[in-house]
Structure 1
Amino acid sequence: MTSPRIAAHLNAFGDRSAVVGGADHEVSYAELAALVCEFANRLGAEQVSERPSGECLATEPAPVRRLVALAARNDIGSLVAYLGALEAGCAVLLTGSVTDEILRVYDPDIVIAAGAEPIPEPRWRRTGSAHELHPELALLLSTSGSTGSPKLVRLSYRNLLANAESIAEYLDIQDTDRAATTLPFFYCYGLSVVHSYLLRGASLLMTNRSVLEPEFWDDFRSRRATSFAAVPYTFDLLERVGFERMSLPHLRYVTQAGGKLAADRVRHHARAGERAGWRFYVMYGQTEATARMAYLPPRLAAEHPDCIGIPVPGGSFRLEPVEEGGDELVYHGPNVMMGYAQAPADLALGHQLTELRTGDLACRTEDGLYRVIGRRSRFAKIFGLRIDLQRIESGLAAAGYTVCCTDDAETLVVAVAGADSTASEDSTAAAQLAAQLSGLPVSAVRVCTVAEIPRLPSGKPDYPAIRHLPVAPTGPAADIRTLFAEALGLATAAITPERTFADLGGDSLTYVALSVKLDRALGQLPTNWQTMTVAELESLPRRKRRFGRSLDTTSLLRAIGMITVLGSHIGLFVLWGGAHVMLAVAGFNFARFGVTPAPAAQRLRKTLRTVALIAIPTALWVTLTLPFSNYYTWQNVLLLNKILGPQDSPTAGHLWFVEVAVYFMLAGALLLRLPLADALERRAPFWFAMAVLAGALILRYRSFDLYASHDIPFSPLAVWFFVLGWAAAKATAVRQRALLTAIALLTVPGYFGETNREQLVLAGLLLLIWVPSVRVPALIAGATALLADASLFAYLLHWQVYPLFGTHHLVALAASVAAGIAAARMLTLARGMVARGTRPSISLEADRFVGKDQCSTAQI
């Protein structure tokens, strides 16, 4: 056996930081070496002793090699157990959980499961070993995660070391680098990060947190992490948390593997990295090659986003023609596995391979880069897991289904033939079984019921047609998608699993009603639901409501603000200040729905759409009133009264709130269309908003004689309320909210010269800053949603409605609200009719590459 000498390698780096955990947990290399030695001694019992230097040494007789099954997590204890087992000369079967199948098929000698203890406790199943292990066998891994199959990849010490050295070389890992563990330890990609960093004396930020959690990024910054690894799905999550807008001053590079990332997204992230000062590495690998076979140098990513790049140092490719047509990519290198294991007897086998046939069809460009253009075998890679489609089909067929399986790069697509009246139940059961067979969550399985499987003239399944079959959601999934379709005025077929509320065109005008309906359907709605995909919402457990429903604070403030405005205008009571609270809410919603991670042009289009949904109904209503009253003038039709006048008309200020809200949204969107502003906002969202607020606050104290003193709070000079709401939406830390609170407490008093109005505005602002949602009785939640959804129309129409009721103020208020609700409902129905008459477009991912930067005919 070639001794790994792991402890000696670790000990050589002395007091340098090796691993950090939470806020105050840190382990040096010397301490890690001692922990590894101690654990190795426990596994080797009396046959392993500890040197004073911290090295471990096998003594005579030679230690018994044992098979260790380790269920690992991203924590220091799992790391110590893994390295200690290797140091003791054991072969490690690394997994996420030690299942009954692993115990039955491979019968490990020792089982180690991560638990509450800092260092997990080994569970001995026997004193010796039941296996004959090849001297070079170090590690057993499932192929790219889990297919539910007992087939494992056999890796040697040389495989692990060679691949770690090549990765460390092309990434130029320095001893000052620190990688955050964004991927599972037991996944070959995540494990390669551990190997390459420890090889170079760099450090690891060990964490089980998701990139969706703010605490992950707090640790990333405070621990000065310099890199993290990502699979394609990770980038969906990163977009939802506004990664590109984050301030990460120590980030050096981001790596991507675990499946194909669409070319346009590769180009986008490569350019984002160039702007922010970090490098973007696209990589290609398989567990059978330990981790990596190719990488795309960052300087080429934007120009060649559909390529896997060049072989890793020490490796090489060749292209071999295959019967199916095209050339298969074949890899040579010291990191090629020893072979597969499907039973314990295979653990005694030596090296069976000198090259790796990847199963991918590829070509080589004129620039010397390799590009994968297809697959030979029926495997898919979803969420970084390699899925055996044939095995899933066989399992479903054994259960009585007539199916054909494929993938659309993000979900497993299962076409079920012979749909009948029980199709709903069959679809749900088929999705659950497919998820069990594949190891995927149910939300990643898309079941399509068809009368017959689509086939080519040859009789073979038509996989492209299957890939784009429309899904027929059932049960809870159908409910969620129906709610989305009704609220957004879209066809149900357009509500696909990977889309979010924002992706589907959701905005502040549709947010309220949908949030209440979803809360009713789910029992409890997460506060960040608008950034979750439809599939994630569908997968949430239905909970029994303990009290009422969750209501977003912006919805509550819109409803209360509108009632106070209408009631004060009508004369039912006097509660001024609601309009300025709603102005801050408008800024909050602008930041939430208009200032997203989407490209700048897309953000502008979305804001223009929202503005149109406000401005067009307003202009139409004003135009309708012109022949019958002297309320408005042509300046009101154009929403320019606050700029062009007349200022002395008794009705001049009736639409001031709508006008200035439109101005502010347009100004904010156009500001962010400037490349410099766009880059600064994406890098530091909150502080960019604070910089805009600092400028806007000038108008709080200086009017520049643009408006009379009594008119200043009801003019575009009140922009600072809007920007304050914008900043509140981007405040993610307590200290940021505290800063906004201090600004509100300093600036609002004295602005109106009316204490009651100022107190009401302050109360609304503080709720907006500190309270994301409240739970209220179901009846109140429903009524609030109706009013908030109809707030624009109630505001527009009440000027003409309430005079009809004379001194019956309460009746006038009710009539104004009812008119607004009716108008809002009519608009929703009209949008739905338009949507149902429009066929949703389907984007064929494969079409993006056809005819664009292809390989020459001779190469294919």
Structure 2
Amino acid sequence: MPFARALAGWGSRRALVHGARTVSYADLARLVEERARRLGTERRLVLLEMASDVESVVTYLAALAGAHPVVVVDAARPDVVAATRAAYDVDVVARGAEIEERRAGTAHDLHPELAVLLSTSGSTGSPRLVRLSAENLQANAESIAAYLPLREDDLAALSLPLHYCYGLSVLHSHLLRGAGVLMSEASVVDPCFWAAAREHGATSLAGVPHTFELLERVGLETVAPDSLRYLTQAGGAMAPERVRTYAEIGQRRGFDLFVMYGQTEATARMAYLPPDLAATRPGAVGVPVPGGRFDLLEVPGAPAGTGELVYEGPNVMLGYAEHPRDLADGRELTRLRTGDLARRADDGLWEIVGRLSRTAKVLGLRIDLDRVERALVDTGARALVAGTAPVDGAAERVVVAVEPRARGGAARLRARVRRQVVDLTGLPAAAVDVHAVEALPRLATGKPDHRAVAALGTPRPAAPLQGDPPAAPRTVRDVLGGVLGRRVGDDDTFAGLGGDSLTYVETSLQLEEVLGHLPADWHLRTVADLQAGAGARARRGRSLETNVVLRAVAIVAVVGTHANLLTLLGGAHLLLALAGFNLARFALGDVSRRDRARALVAAAARVAVPAVAWIGGAALLLGAYPWPTVLLVNGFVGPPGWTEPAWHHWFLEALVLLVLVVAALVSVPALDRAERRWPFWFPVALTLVALLPRYELVWLPEGDVIHRAPVVAWLLTLGWAVARARTTPHRLVVSALAVATVPGFFGDDARSAAVVVGLLLLTWSRQVRLPGPLARVVATLAGASLYIYLTHWQVYPHLEVDHPALATLLSLVVGVAVWRVAQHLERHLRRVGANVALTRPRYPADPAQMSR
């Protein structure tokens, strides 16, 4: 193995970095030579329990240098280690620097070319292994080093496991060029990972699609070191929009994105997409790696120009092994049938459009779905198993539909099946979706409908089966899943799951009950991070964010003023600024442009749908409102001046319209890029533009002014800027804007003062501690503020003259009650939607759509 034997030639260059330990090439060569002597000169079959540490790499390279065929397995999976050890009767078992010799010689006939054996089915413990030769490893390392801009001074930040062919390929290609590898057991969401990357000057990062999904949560532009020159992605298809997003980030930050395609059977890589095409051709796998070529085999029934992709090159495996006797076999094939449906586009780039076989690649692991299904059936379960492709940025998953044998107990059945799949595949529980169904979906022919099963795994709120026992929130995952109605994994965050200002309050209160104390940035922290802090001693009282307290105060001020209990104007205008504040936090995260627009439209819908339903009902039953008010267009076609009741819901109309305008703005690529590059100054600039109508520097129709959407838009964008104000100078800027622009707008000093004070509190004080009972009341009012505003117009007029306090109280109570009913109805609709998806599976018109 040339690159394993040539280590000393790179001298004092750093080869491996792990924690506080840095190993030069000269030191690595010495360690490998010493370990090779311990393995002996007679070729033996070595089982290596591979971990991401120096000693494991030394033993691996020693086996290669000594020509010992090495079976690489995950050190963290003792069940897989035991199964592989028993299946192949290995001669030597190695754990880091520990060498266990099971016999002096070998019990096997080992083919001279055999070098490495890797699992092709993830971590299932399957006896089927890929047989790779020394030529395979060397050729693929040279090929990768040829198309990547690999230099001797490079350092790869590696979070991928080394028992995985992608992780090994990073190691091989860097050792070939005398470059370094920074190894870490930490996830890319762990600040320690990036601290090490910055400290040592990492120049590249390799990841599977799930890695890039996690990077969206931490914000790559924020954490990446300036030394980063390129990213590589493989291990499954990544959503084209996400590819484009990272390519655009790279253009801004000065690094390249290499999207790659490969299989263990081809040692690692078969194709790559040149980085200059990532933004314009994100759905393609690109061109063959140097030394390789593609061809198509005809597939009956496939569209013209589409066929099974076949790869040919020096990195194609020798063949498979399923028994020790297979280790004596030489080369069995030179052309690899990939099992992927593909086509070659007019520009010469290759595209994957589907799969022929029943496999799924989840988090970089190839999962044999038929094997998992058979294993479940063997335990007595009535189950079907499918895999989902990445959809709308969601990771690929294993999806199981299971049919309960008796009524009730569905929750326990799902939990048991999930544990079985996790144990069998080595996947995290968050990557396995289990659904209890009344009957397994079948085609008209009676055959299993795996496509309908896969449809269950598309992103949608979880739908508990009727009869499941309610579970009290005991963990962070329970709380987020219960409030948001979503499936929740350890790496998820509240913001990443689609949480918004309407669900923020209830979630924060429940989480504080679980955790004892809630950090200020909890909505951006992962489930695992929050859960790690569970049990911290709670301080007296409850922490509520200032924006939550202000929402409650504002809605009480609105209702109390209308009911003649008090006079405190400006509440609705402050609510508009708070809406901008929360939009920036929950709908404008570090996700794709399409996901941002979708989140904003969904936010507008969560206001518009109940508003139109309630106002329309009041119009039909009571004759209370004209149709422009019902349709939320009164500001455009209604009476020009304030007229009751036509203008009652001006706030909701303005809010919906302005949120949709923001959605349109961030849908424009140039504006979206500008917002990401200047997250604070972009909304400040929008505020300055939106002040033109406020100061009547543009033409406005006659009539009411302070309640029209174009005129009050600056309040929403100012709230947006407050959310982005991270430094003292930023806070001074938004404070100055508030103090300079609010006075004079209303013609009422007290009203202006109320809005200014609210904005300053929002800017400078992010949390307020309240006694527990009061905090619950405040949180409830804040959470129900939309429905209180919507319904109070039908409550307080009956009591405002004689009983203003009662009018105020009943308005608040009715609004909270309607809010609770709306929450219950929303959960019911989610459940119905999930059941409809079961009975009406989707069939793509184009077979090419089946792959993604």
Give the TM-score taking structure 2 as reference length: 0.74
Residues 1:125 and 2:100 are matched in the alignment: yes
Instruction: Report if the CA contact (8 A) 2:293-2:312 is conserved.
Output: yes
- Superposition pairs for residues 598-609 of structure 1, below 5 Å? 598-599=593-594, 602=598, 605-606=601-602, 608-609=604-605
SS at match of 1:461: coil
Structure 1 residues 549 and 229 mapped into 2: Cα distance closer, same or farther (>3 Å)? Answer: farther
Instruction: Report if the CA contact (8 A) 1:36-1:81 is conserved.
Output: no
- Which of 45, 53, 74 is the matching residue for 1:96? 74
Provide, for residues 281-331 of structure 1, a one-character-per-residue CA deviation record: whole Å limited to 9, x for no partner: 442222122111223445666776665444321223455568999965443
Residues 1:290 and 2:267 are matched in the alignment: yes
Partner in structure 1 of residue 162 of structure 2 = 185
Structure 1 residues 644 and 385 mapped into 2: Cα distance closer, same or farther (>3 Å)? Answer: same
- Superposition pairs for residues 553-592 of structure 1, below 5 Å? 554-563=547-556, 582-592=575-585
Instruction: Report if the CA contact (8 A) 2:464-2:831 is conserved.
Output: no
Residues 1:681 and 2:675 are matched in the alignment: yes
Amino acid at match of 1:847: P
Q: How many residues align?
A: 800
Residues 1:353 and 2:332 are matched in the alignment: yes
- Superposition pairs for residues 562-711 of structure 1, below 5 Å? 562-563=555-556, 582-596=575-589, 597-599=592-594, 602=598, 605-606=601-602, 608-609=604-605, 612=608, 616=612, 640=635, 665=659, 668-686=662-680, 688-689=682-683, 692=686
Provide, for residues 795-849 of structure 1, a one-character-per-residue CA deviation record: whole Å limited to 9, x for no partner: 4666786673568665454233223324444655676787788786699787274
Provide, for residues 575-614 of structure 1, a one-character-per-residue CA deviation record: whole Å limited to 9, x for no partner: 8887676454322211133324341653553354356359
SS at match of 2:169: helix
Partner in structure 2 of residue 767 of structure 1 = 765
Instruction: Report if the CA contact (8 A) 1:588-1:722 is conserved.
Output: yes
| Whole-Å separation in 1 of the counterparts to 2:277 and 2:127 | 39
Instruction: Report if the CA contact (8 A) 1:6-1:83 is conserved.
Output: no
| Whole-Å separation in 1 of the counterparts to 2:793 and 2:320 | 78
- Which of 370, 373, 379 is the matching residue for 2:359? 379
| Whole-Å separation in 1 of the counterparts to 2:630 and 2:301 | 70
Provide, for residues 661-707 of structure 1, a one-character-per-residue CA deviation record: whole Å limited to 9, x for no partner: 5675455444434442112123453453455567779999x997999
Q: Which moved more, 1:278-287 or 1:684-693?
A: 684-693
Amino acid at match of 1:818: V
Structure 1 residues 689 and 63 mapped into 2: Cα distance closer, same or farther (>3 Å)? Answer: farther
| Whole-Å separation in 1 of the counterparts to 2:74 and 2:21 | 24
Structure 1 residues 511 and 672 mapped into 2: Cα distance closer, same or farther (>3 Å)? Answer: same
Partner in structure 1 of residue 448 of structure 2 = 461
Residues 1:35 and 2:27 are matched in the alignment: yes
| Whole-Å separation in 2 of the counterparts to 1:369 and 1:253 | 21
Deviation at 1:719, TM superposition (A): 6.4
- Which of 814, 839, 844 is the matching residue for 1:847? 844
Partner in structure 1 of residue 432 of structure 2 = 445
Q: Which moved more, 1:212-221 or 1:285-294?
A: 212-221
| Whole-Å separation in 1 of the counterparts to 2:92 and 2:669 | 60
Q: Which moved more, 1:747-756 or 1:662-671?
A: 747-756
- Which of 378, 383, 399 is the matching residue for 2:379? 399
| Whole-Å separation in 1 of the counterparts to 2:356 and 2:603 | 45
SS at match of 2:206: strand
Residues 1:416 and 2:402 are matched in the alignment: yes
Instruction: Report if the CA contact (8 A) 2:130-2:320 is conserved.
Output: yes
| Whole-Å separation in 1 of the counterparts to 2:299 and 2:620 | 71
Instruction: Report if the CA contact (8 A) 2:612-2:632 is conserved.
Output: no
| Whole-Å separation in 2 of the counterparts to 1:851 and 1:714 | 48
Instruction: Report if the CA contact (8 A) 2:284-2:351 is conserved.
Output: yes
Instruction: Report if the CA contact (8 A) 1:109-1:125 is conserved.
Output: yes
Partner in structure 2 of residue 146 of structure 1 = 123
| Whole-Å separation in 1 of the counterparts to 2:622 and 2:200 | 64
SS at match of 1:125: strand
Amino acid at match of 2:269: R
| Whole-Å separation in 2 of the counterparts to 1:108 and 1:713 | 81
Amino acid at match of 2:233: Q
Partner in structure 1 of residue 4 of structure 2 = 4
- Superposition pairs for residues 702-851 of structure 1, below 5 Å? 722-723=716-717, 725-730=719-724, 736-743=726-733, 761-768=759-766, 771=767, 777=772, 779-780=773-774, 782-795=776-789, 804-805=799-800, 810-825=805-820, 847=844, 849-850=846-847
| Whole-Å separation in 1 of the counterparts to 2:776 and 2:765 | 20
Instruction: Report if the CA contact (8 A) 1:330-1:358 is conserved.
Output: yes
Deviation at 1:149, TM superposition (A): 2.4
- Superposition pairs for residues 94-493 of structure 1, below 5 Å? 94-97=72-75, 99=78, 101-103=80-82, 104-105=85-86, 109=92, 111-113=94-96, 122-126=97-101, 129=104, 131=106, 137-143=114-120, 145-175=122-152, 178-213=155-190, 227-241=204-218, 253-261=230-238, 279-298=256-275, 307-319=284-296, 329-341=309-321, 349=328, 351-355=330-334, 357-358=336-337, 360-365=339-344, 367=346, 370-372=350-352, 375=355, 377-409=357-389, 410-417=396-403, 419-421=405-407, 424=410, 425-449=412-436, 453-454=440-441, 460-468=447-455, 473=464
Provide, for residues 442-468 of structure 1, a one-character-per-residue CA deviation record: whole Å limited to 9, x for no partner: 333333445665556776534334434
Deviation at 1:521, TM superposition (A): 8.9
| Whole-Å separation in 1 of the counterparts to 2:698 and 2:234 | 59
Q: What is the aligned-residue identity percentage?
A: 39
Structure 1 residues 315 and 503 mapped into 2: Cα distance closer, same or farther (>3 Å)? Answer: same
CA-based RMSD of the aligned residues comes to 5.8
Amino acid at match of 1:606: A
| Whole-Å separation in 1 of the counterparts to 2:551 and 2:603 | 19
Amino acid at match of 2:450: Y
Structure 1 residues 312 and 715 mapped into 2: Cα distance closer, same or farther (>3 Å)? Answer: closer
Give the TM-score taking structure 1 as reference length: 0.73
Structure 1 residues 725 and 640 mapped into 2: Cα distance closer, same or farther (>3 Å)? Answer: same
Amino acid at match of 1:382: V
Deviation at 1:153, TM superposition (A): 3.2
| Whole-Å separation in 1 of the counterparts to 2:535 and 2:309 | 53
Amino acid at match of 2:414: S
Deviation at 1:628, TM superposition (A): 8.9
Amino acid at match of 1:336: V
Structure 1 residues 559 and 35 mapped into 2: Cα distance closer, same or farther (>3 Å)? Answer: farther
